[in-house]
Structure 1
Amino acid sequence: MKKIVLLAVLLATYAFGANQCIVCHKGIEDIRDRNSSMMRSILRISEKAGHPGNDCIVCHGGNPKSKSKKYAHRGTVEYFKSNPGPKEYYPAPASSWINQNTCGVCHPNQVAAQMNSLMMTEQGKIQGAMWSFGAKEGYTHVNGNYKTKNPDDPHKRLGTDTYRVYMEKLAMMEPQGFPTEMKELPAAPTVEEIHKDPSLAVYTYLRQECLRCHTGSKGRYRRGDYRGIGCASCHVPYSNEGFYEGNDKSIKKKERAHMLSHQIQSSRKVKVKIHDVEYSGVPVETCSTCHNRGKRIGVSYQGLMETEYQSTFDAEGHGQPKLHTKRYLHMKEDVHYKKGMLCQDCHTSNDLHGDGFLAGANLGAVEIECQDCHGTTKKYPWELPIGYSDEFSEKEKVGKPRGVTQTVAKYLKQGYLPKDKGDGYILTARGNPLPKAVKKGNKIIMHLASGKDIELKPLKLLKEEEALSKEALVAMDVVEAHTSEMECYTCHATWAPQCYGCHVKVDYSGGKKNPDYLKASHDHDMHGTTGGMRDLKKYLVPGKVTETRSYLRWENPALAQNGEGRITPVIPGCQTTITVIGKDGKALLQNYIFKIPNVEGAGKEGQNAIDMAPVQPHTIQKEARSCESCHTSDKALGLGVGGGKLGADPSKTTIMDLMSADGKIVPKQVDEQIPAIPNLKHDYSQFVDENTTQLMTVGHHWKLSHPLQKDERDKLDRRGVCLSCHQDIPKGNLAVSAMTHIAQMAELKIDNKEHQGILNKILNLGALLQVIGGGFIILLILYVIYRKFIKQKSINPMSRGWK
């Protein structure tokens, strides 16, 4: 009753004009529903601060008594100077640089974890680019956007005790992927420094192009890239066009780079209403404002695949507009996306906010696996051990069942928790609860952020109900290696974006300059604003970066082993082919591919520094890719598109003009059509040859990442096998399907050469029998039946009704 009276008083005070901020910002949307627990907390703080009903000052600070914009947007109320709250006026209160005084008052764990999260440090991206410029920091992950280090107390890692113990073990196994501290990325080089060492252009490349997306920056102001800073990067809605569509008269409606509405989007219990549409959760498109480069998982999840083409045309005949500076084909969306699942429905708070400790790349930061919800055909998710499918070693494939949990950490209770938690919350592979996934009997109820509940039947239950197809049973149940040695998405991700050959030009001629986004974000003031939010032109550094590629593909990605030791799809990572133009307009490096020094087995020169990256493509379909797309594919083996036999030698310059039949160029004035790439002797899609020699690196973040080894390739390779038998098969149903052949050969560990030999013997025997005659065949069959079933096993054929 007291709470109701307090709320009524606060609302009445608000109604009679205690909040002077809305004199200018009349019509602005409440940041949260006024009946929500969050708004009640905000109003309680405003009352303690001596300004009951003024929710604006709790986040923005400022001087609420002034009617002048100049003075209203200055300072903070006296209470907050010595109590938790804003210490100055904050136009962007979610900014990473001051949000410990705003968002962190109520959400201290997430805010404390943010500085070491991968979304802030971008360590994997930085190490990947530096690797492609000659492995400037080797296998280690020591450079990031900012100087930081892990907490001294391991118990400060967010998560359960099981999770903390597990992560400490991973950090010991993969120290290069779980660094303890991080130093700041070196500054952008001067032109003079570039002429001494052109490889320093990597710092220009990173700062001008790659490091716009971290949450300490507001990013780039382009269509599809508009977003907030800090917590608002995800939790405040921005449209792709960047226009404000709310009712605050002070915000310009025709000016881009504004939030769509002054509201918070977060969990299932938070409703956002814009015009006539009400939704909950964080839309996928919010995530895609950043996750559209690199592995492109955001746009891929939505079914968008980059293209060079402009079709289709609009009503005025204009080509497709650029989104995230790219144009797209519309492919099949991920099956989870089609079911209405948002990114946060799978990814945990630790995945998104971080756990407070550093991780060098995605595989270190993400704690979930497909089997956490789907299990296997032989075990339910709760019957699997902690660490299953997240192994980094063989040990985690066995162990006691992980079970479920009835409790969640205090910081997770601020989000949505189902009222009916059934038998308990499902656990991730690393031992944290999945609050949206509740066990009910042998089923799982997913409580989606959108407000929808869906029933999930694990694979074991589907098998028990005989709901799996024969193909699925063979692939997942009969061929156990598919489940124990491969990622689920190796088969179920039917396409992946493959951008072959990343041609980077860094041009320092003619005084060219572009913004250093990282330097601009470093220049943050007491108001929480960064240089990029004030005037990006002040942060120009020498050089101008442009990027292009050799070609794009999407179908049937190649296979390799990831850092968890499982077979996975791989796509081009940083296949950086570098051209650096000096101040005089001459190339200091031209189409240059660096070599990785001192890599075991790479020869004296080392391997090419271009890389193929293991990936979860986020393009999952219920119907998996065909058996043949892996077992009879040159590309799947790592031999490249068309087995590497289609492209000409890229290390040789191509000149096209009038020439004689013996190849002599007729004119004297000619230009190079396709300049050479000296260190590239093969197509970008080929990363091993037929002799299993590795031609480029594969997944350099983790120790276990590598191309398929000889024994793995021998098990996979079934090229030409079908033709050995099936070229003379008559019409009609075959006794055994080709898929079953493949399954049996894999289980028996018979490689392709041995299989071909068996087939050869069978065919030779068949030819011999044809010569001897059909009568002998009948006698032989009768003799085999006699020896096998009658004499050896003493079976009376008449007892079985034989005639």
Structure 2
Amino acid sequence: MKKTFVLTSLLLILVALIALIEVSTPSWSQYQKEYFKEQIASLQVQLGSAKDNAKKGQLQEEIASYQKRKPEIIDLVLPDGKVERCKTCHIGIEEISSSHPSNTFGCTVCHGGNPLSLDKAMAHAQMYGGGHPGSLDVASLSCGGTGENNVACHAGNPEQAKNEVDLVKTSIMSTKAGELSAVRRMFGYDKTNDIPGLTKGQVAALYPNPLQGRANQKDFQQNCLSQCHQSGGDLPVSTTTNNVSLKGTQEQDGTQVKGQAETQSKIQGNGCETCHVLTNPTHTYIGTDTTMKTNNIGYGMTHSLTTQILYTQCNQCHNQGNHDPLKMSFAFRSDMTKVINDWKSGVTNWLDRVQDYYLPGEIFAKCEVSLDCIDCHTRQDVMGDNKLHTSQYDAVHLQCQDCHGTKETLPKTKQIVDPNDLAFEEQITNPKFPKLKIGDEILVTGKGEELPFIRHQGNDWIQNSRVTGQTFQIPLVYGSKCQQSLLEQGADSCHKCHDRSATHP
């Protein structure tokens, strides 16, 4: 009896000690230990396949270094003397981009929050957009704020083209003004594309009485106007798609995820992040920050910004299905499961891109599939030009003739003569571009927007992919056998001859 009492007492003391240790061990310490463990495992895999003795020695040293490393508070001292401790928990987080180095910018300039706190709730209090600083309702504070030495970031610049935060709020993808206009005209409320009372920067989902109180007005606002790129808008991702893409996802402890699509079937578009943070089909994080490795969906693959935006990123909205303006509902593609290819597979062939790229029944030219969306659509097409457009035709700056010319004219060009030309900023966005130089001749759109990734070189017109850097020689209409009327030189007219489809590529 006495022996049993002693054993029970010792067990209770042990449990109490374990509980005390757990309470006294800060969460940031656990995050760092998990990070060290993951790095060691990754290095050991590399060591197992290494053949060079020097490489093996280097890997062994790195493994030993992580094995000896102890958790510690990490102070990030910025050039202005301010201290941030965000990386104490987020020790493995990726650099957001080469132009936003954390040792210069820090974290809170974009994210907000309390950088000195090591308590999760307190540190994350007052974060912009609840952890999504690109959301358009807070982008003026984050992306549009000021950086080192109070230099204006993406707002407040003398050049309008550099004020992307202000411009994007007028984008037709942000306002949904085009969809609102088309449906109101269909129901006979407006005789033109102009929408009475809709002002620049206003979100169409908040437009009062868009269908003048009709029974389907609520569905129109919720199922159509509130989707896609708007801040907090839902991306059109079906529950079926989520079930397919999330199959096999696991918790960190190895347990299987169940009902993920049921618990969070909606994925939100968070403004700037919707385009500039690349995602995978599961919309889950796969980077090296252990604090981010949860089963929550709706995040980018890594904590990284990019301007090399793949067509698959655009497809988050543009190839999922179609809105039905009569039923006020979104009809998902019947073949959507076929579109969810393995995002790790790398380069796809042309036929694969046809299946991924376009909705069944749509007509396109071959170049529109060979290239990525941003190889044609200009920054003003995508991010707005400070005007309230209510039709896609008015909003888009690029037409086929801008690159291919017409039967009687060559494409319009511009020679670079000013070292401060905005075209050089495009050079920064993709290191694979041939270096732009004074004297280079680049193309411009009919509306005067520069296309520095399309250049006139001798007798050739060369396009450089903004994603891969691959070069394409542009065929010209001028001097060809094209018989198209000069009055019909828009994209729709070109498709009459250069018509492909997903069923007939």
Per the normalisation by structure 2, the TM-score is 0.60
Residue 230 of structure 2 corresponds to 215
Cα distance between partner residues in 1 of 2:463 and 2:487: 29
Unaligned runs of 5+ in 2: 1-74, 146-152, 156-162, 243-265, 324-330, 341-357, 429-433
Residue 381 of structure 1 contacts residue 458 of structure 1 at CA under 8 Å; is this kept in 2?
no
C-alpha separation in 1, matches of 2:314 and 2:490 = 31
Shift of 1:211: 2.7
Structure-2 change in CA distance of 1:413 and 1:311 (3 Å): closer
The Cα shift of 1:352 comes to 0.6
- Verify the 8 A CA contact 1:29 1:263 in the aligned structure 2: yes
Counterpart of 2:207, as a letter, is L
Q: For 2:87 and 2:93, how far apart are their aligned partners in 1?
A: 7
What's the secondary structure of 1:437's corresponding residue? strand
| Alpha-carbon distance change, 183 to 218 in structure 1, aligned in 2, over 3 angstroms | closer
Q: Please state whether the residue corresponding to 2:270 is helix, strand or coil.
A: coil
Alignment partner of 1:419 is 2:423: no
Deviation at 1:295, TM superposition (A): 7.0
Correspondences of 1:672-683 after superposition (within 5 Å)? none
Match of 2:132 in 1: 92
Question: Hey, what's the Cα distance between the residues in 2 that align with 1:484 and 1:231?
Answer: 30
* 1:125 paired residue number: 179
Distance 2:332 2:138 in 1: 37
Deviation (angstroms), 1:227: 5.5
Q: Which has the higher strand share?
A: 1
Question: Counterpart of 2:120?
Answer: 69
Q: Shift in Å at residue 284 of structure 1?
A: 0.7
Amino acid corresponding to residue 112 of structure 1 in structure 2: D
Report the CA distance shift for 1:483/1:123 in structure 2 as closer, same or farther (over 3 A). closer
The alpha-carbon distance between structure 1 residues 410 and 136, as it changes in their structure 2 partners (threshold 3 A), is same
Amino acid of the residue matched to residue 107 of structure 1? H
Number of the residue aligned with 1:368: 398
Secondary structure of 1:101 counterpart: coil
Task: Tell me which of 389, 397, 404 is aligned to 1:359.
Answer: 389
Q: Name the SS for the 1:425 alignment partner.
A: strand
Q: Please state how far the C-alpha of 1:455 moved relative to its aligned partner.
A: 3.9
CA–CA distance in 1 between the matches of 2:165 and 2:407?
40
In structure 2, the partner of 1:29 is: 94
Q: How far does the alpha carbon of each residue in 1:31-61 deviate from its partner, in whole angstroms, 9 at most, with x for none?
A: 11xxx3x125x644x4xxxxxxxx2122112
Asked if 2 retains the 8 angstrom alpha-carbon contact of 1:228 and 1:259, the reply is no
Alignment of structure 1 residues 100-119 onto 2, 5 Å? 100-105=140-145, 106-108=153-155, 109-119=163-173
Give distance in 2, aligned partners of 1:310 and 1:430. Answer: 37
User: Matches of residues 586-625 of structure 1 in structure 2 within 5 Å?
Assistant: none
What is the aligned counterpart of 2:216 among 201, 204, 211?
Answer: 201
Note the C-alpha offset of 1:121: 1.2
- Match of 1:149, SS state, is coil
Structure 1 position 347 matched with structure 2 position 377: yes
CA contact (8 A) 2:96 2:304 kept: yes
Distance 1:482 1:227, change over 3 A: same
Q: Within 2, Cα distance between the matches of 1:414 and 1:129?
A: 38
State which of 406, 409, 414 in structure 1 corresponds to 2:416. 406
Equivalent position of 2:109 in the other structure: 58
Equivalent residue for 1:379, pick from 402, 409, 417: 409
Aligned AA (2:310): P
Is the contact made by 1:26 and 1:248 (CA closer than 8 Å) also made in structure 2? yes
Please give the per-residue CA displacement for 1:547-587, whole angstroms capped at 9, x wherever unaligned: xxxxxxx78xxxxxxxxxxxxxxxxxxxxxxxxxxxxxxxx
Aligned letter for 1:213? C
Do the aligned partners of 2:170 and 2:387 also contact (CA within 8 Å) in 1?
Answer: yes
What is the 5 A alignment of 1:477-626? 487-495=493-501
Decide whether the 8 Å contact of 1:126 with 1:143 is kept in 2. no
Q: Distance in 2 between matches of 1:123 and 1:65?
A: 43
User: C-alpha displacement at 1:127, in angstroms?
Assistant: 1.9
Check 1:294–1:185 CA distance in 2 against 1; reply closer, same or farther (3 A cut).
farther
Residue deviations 1:307-327, cap 9 Å, x none? Answer: 64699899xxxxxxxxxxxx9
User: 1:282 deviation in Å?
Assistant: 0.5
Report the residue type matching 1:425 in the other structure: I
Matched, 1:249 2:255: no
> 5+ unaligned residues in a row in structure 1: which ranges?
1-10, 47-54, 77-87, 151-179, 190-196, 267-280, 297-304, 315-326, 383-402, 497-553, 556-620, 622-803
Match of 1:284? 311
Alpha-carbon displacement from aligned partner over 1:676-710 (angstroms, at most 9, x marks no partner): xxxxxxxxxxxxxxxxxxxxxxxxxxxxxxxxxxx
Tell me the residue number matched to 2:194: 141
Residue identity opposite 1:212 in structure 2:
Q
Q: How many residues align?
A: 358
1:489 maps to amino acid? H
Structure 1 pair 111–413 and aligned structure 2 pair: CA distance change class (3 A): farther
What does the per-residue CA deviation read over 1:325-358, in whole Å, with 9 as the maximum and x for residues that have no partner?
Answer: xx9769998523553x221111111111101111
Q: Find the residue that maps to 1:434 and give its secondary structure.
A: strand
- Give the aligned CA root-mean-square deviation in angstroms: 4.2
Match of 2:304 among 263, 267, 272: 263
CA contact (8 A) 1:58 1:102 kept: yes
C-alpha contact 1:25 1:249 (8 A) present in aligned 2: yes
Q: Map residues 762-781 of structure 1 onto 2, 5 A cutoff.
A: none
Which whole-Å CA distance do the structure 1 matches of 2:268 and 2:278 have between them?
8
Q: Secondary structure at the match of 2:389?
A: coil
Q: In 2, are the aligned partners of 1:129 and 1:206 still within 8 Å (CA)?
A: no
Partner of 1:730: none
TM normalised by structure 1 equals: 0.39
Matches of 2:496 and 2:380 in 1, distance apart?
Answer: 25
Q: Separation in 2 of the partners of 1:290 and 1:484?
A: 24
| Contact preservation (8 Å) 1:127, 1:143 | no
Structure 1 residues 358 and 62 mapped into 2: Cα distance closer, same or farther (>3 Å)?
Answer: same
The answer to whether the Cα contact below 8 Å between 2:172 and 2:390 also exists between their aligned partners in 1 is yes
Judged with a 3 Å threshold, the aligned counterparts in structure 2 of structure 1 residues 411 and 227 are, in CA distance, closer, same or farther, namely farther
User: Could you tell me how far 1:415 is from its partner in structure 2?
Assistant: 3.2
What is the distance in 1 between the residues matched to 2:449 and 2:222? 35
Q: Secondary structure at the match of 2:442?
A: strand
Query: Is 1:188–1:207's contact at 8 Å kept on the other side of the alignment?
Result: no
The answer to whether the 8 Å contact 1:306/1:328 transfers is no
1:335 aligns with 2:366: yes
Measured against aligned partners, the alpha-carbon deviations of 1:430-468 in whole angstroms (never above 9, x if no partner) come to 11211211111232221221242414244257x4xxxx6
1:138 counterpart letter in structure 2: K
- Which is further off, 359-368 or 23-32? 23-32
| SS of alignment partner, residue 104 of structure 1 | coil
